[in-house]
Amino acid sequence: MIHDHPEAMLKAIADVDPVQHDHATANFNVPFFDSLDALLSETAIPDVVCICTPNGLHAPLAIKALEKGCHVVIEKPMGLSKASCEEVIFTSLKMSKQVFCVMQNRYSPPSQWLKQVVEENRLGKLFTVQINCYWNRDDRYYHPEKQVHPGNWKGKQSLDGGPLFTQFSHFIDIMYWLFGDITDINAKFANNNHRHSTEFSDDSGQVSFKFLNGGMGSFNYSTSVWDKNLESSMTIIGENGSIKVGGQYMEQVEYCHILDYQLPEIAPANPPNDYGAYKGSAANHQYVIQNVIDTLLGRSTITTNALEGLKVVDIIERIYALR
């Protein structure tokens, strides 16, 4: 999508996987490097570096790029600790460079509609929010038959971090975007069928909390669902009505009953990212790239800024502190 954008130019690709070399040169005809250090030392410094690596490398690589004078686009999560995200923000401020966090579910039409409903206070006082994320991540994901150099990072505590970071941070982001920060967190965790495939103590969890702005919430998740993803949903109950957005990826408005309000026509959501044996969240990355371009050209502001990226990591870190 960068390669084809009329206002952007793909300058180079860096990847530790040599298999990507032939793909990059055949499809994009740009220089290929085996590390970010090599890219930043051997080419003209790019305006923007996109960090699309294992989670545990996001923050340190972003800091390297920022220190070279690049803006950065960081795939979710921004880091695996609040402290590492703070280092990214400190470096960006020191270098006067922008940090864009990839939380593409914000662009889905049901999410955009939810944001409007909340900002217009259509529901009145918030009573409760329940989020359910029930996905499949079995050995097809954690241990695919063909491993590529330098080994599979998925399921490793230091590089993956756990399902709340890798699978479900998008939905924690939507929750934070709509309702703000949480407190009084309680949680129970289980590892139902991933003891052989991950280093985590959880593949499932039930988390309850209160919102600082009022109301209570729960976040239930699992990657133990057999064969394919089951559900990603958000149910909101307020004094003036109730909403449920569901489907496999929060792409459908399943229920809307609000005082003196008629549900408008909502555009269809984009399909999920399809990785073959498993699927991810909405394929909305083109909107992220457009936001980067618009922001750097002074036409817009960042959709998901560094402080928001940090808060998502902070919430997950506080939940996981209870494991």
What are residue 258's DSSP bridge partners? 241
Helix axes 306-320, 169-179, angle to 10 degrees: 110
| Alpha-carbon span 15 to 23, nearest angstrom | 11
| Alpha-carbon span 73 to 292, nearest angstrom | 8
CATH class entry, domain 104-281+306-320: alpha beta
pLDDT tens figures, 254-303:
999 999 999 999 999 988 878 777 777 778 999 999 999 999 999 999 99
* SS3 call for 217: strand
Domain spans in the chain, listed from the N-terminal domain onward: 13-101, 104-281+306-320
Query: What is residue 165's predicted lDDT score, i.e. its pLDDT?
Result: 98
Residues in Cβ contact with 129 at an 8 Å cutoff, skipping those fewer than 6 apart: 175, 179, 211, 215, 216, 217, 218, 234, 235, 236, 237
- Enumerate residue ranges in the chain where pLDDT < 50: 148-150
| Alpha-carbon span 29 to 299, nearest angstrom | 30
Query: What is residue 146's predicted lDDT score, i.e. its pLDDT?
Result: 52
Fold of 13-101: Rossmann fold (3.40.50)
